[in-house]
Each structure stands twice: as C-alpha cells, then as structure tokens.
Amino acid sequence: MAVLPRGIVVNCTLKKEEKMKRFEIFPTELRGVQLRIEPGIKLDILRKKTESFYQLARQFAEGKFQIDDLTDQQAPWREEIIGAAKEHEGLRGLTSEEDNFVLTVAPREKIIWNKDLLKKSMGIAYSAATREDLAVNVSVGFVTEKGVTISAGVMAKAISEALVNLGISQKDLAKVMRQEVNISLDEKKVTEMINQGQLKLLKGAKTLEITWTVRVDRLKK
C-alpha cells in the first residue's frame, strides 16, 4: 500500500491470473511434485531438503483442508446457536467443566451511514463532523502505451496528476482503477447535535447492522 498526502490512499492489487504468473515451475525428482520459484532465480536445493519441504507442505495442506471441512460442518451448528440466542433474550453462551470449554455467543452492532443522505441532513455542518478519504485500487503490472509499468511507487508519485498522462486511455482507465470515498464520522458529535435538536437525520441516513459471533475457548489449558 502506498500512502499519499492526507486523505488519499492507493491500494495496488494483483488479479488472480497475475498472481499465478509471478512464479515459475521448478522440476524435482519427486513424482508429481514441482517447486514454485520466482522468475529468473537459479534455485540450488538438495533432494533431501526438497523432500523435507514437501513433507511439511503436505502436512500443512492436509491440516488446512481438514480445518476447512470442519468449518463447513460447523456452519449449521453456528446458525442454530445464534438462533437460540435470538429466541431467548439475554442468552450469551454456556460453560461445561466436564468438556472443558466455554462458548460465547453475542451480537455486534455496526452503524452504516449513507453519505448522500447524511450530507443532505447535516448541510453545512457535514464538513465539521466528517472527513472523507479517497481510496484508489489499482491493478499492478499493467503496462501503459508509453511502456510504463504501473506499480505502487509509480502511482504514489503520479496520483496527483491525471492517469492519462501515463498513457492510459479513458477506455483502459476503468480496467485498472476503482475509486471509493470512505467516511470518518465523529459519531459523538453527531449524536450531540441530534440530542440538542440541531440535527434531524433523513430516513435511511443511518442504519444499524447486527452481526453475531460465536466463540469457543478452553476453560483450563
């Protein structure tokens, strides 16, 4: 991530196909096993080290796949636990000394602000209680008509200028760049303005989103 003058952030991301191209295949003496290496590197690795690396990678992969399978199995149980907590007000989990675990289920509130409706609601007071940050996501590796390869460093230097100066056409601009405005809101100040009758929010300017978390820990380690 490249950080520019306050309020502007550039995120450079790799598309899936671009990530795959980052590595070259290095053959080994093990059947069906190839190493992945950075382009242009002449790898010097002993067969013993390759075998050891393969065993570690295989064990790690097997463990990861087992965790993924168990996570899928837990999904319906998680929903039923959340359902029970919603049905019984105040229920937030249980402990079991015999099974040595404590389960916690709890809701989390998140406020979603509609920028346009909030701005209409607050009028000139909007700028006093909010700060807008411009986030730009750029796909790195794109080569312009001038032969310039887009990177975090290039974007950090050139973001203050129009990207067309790099030779990117208006048609290609939409392919490599996405912009969004993030709001940093002083919620305490807005709440005070509402309570003091200085502000009345339009319908839809503020919505409350509730998500549930289910966590399990051991009682005794």
Dump pLDDT digits (tens) for 136-182: 666 666 777 777 777 666 665 565 566 666 676 666 655 655 555 56
- So what's the pLDDT on residue 215? 92
- The SS3 call for residue 31 is coil
Q: What is the mean pLDDT of the chain?
A: 78
Instruction: Write the pLDDT tens digit of every residue in 26-42.
Output: 999 999 999 998 888 88
| 133 against 52, higher pLDDT | 52
The answer to whether position 33 is within a domain reads no
Q: Are 156 and 4 in contact (CB under 8 A)?
A: yes
The answer to whether position 21 is within a domain reads no
The answer to whether position 60 is within a domain reads yes
The answer to whether position 29 is within a domain reads no
The answer to whether position 161 is within a domain reads yes
The answer to whether position 7 is within a domain reads yes
Give me the number of domains the chain comprises.
Answer: 1
The answer to whether position 42 is within a domain reads no
Domain span at residue 151? 2-15+47-217
Q: Could you tell me which of 185, 183, 209, 210 has the C-alpha nearest to residue 199?
A: 185
The answer to whether position 106 is within a domain reads yes
Structure confidence at residue 199 as a pLDDT band (50, 70, 90): confident
Torsion, Cα of 192, 195, 199, 201 (10° steps): 100
Judging by beta carbons within 10 Å of its beta carbon (0-12, 13-18, 19+), is residue 11 exposed, middle or buried? Answer: middle
**Using DSSP, how many helices (H) and how many strands (E) does the chain show?**
7, 9
- So what's the pLDDT on residue 10? 47
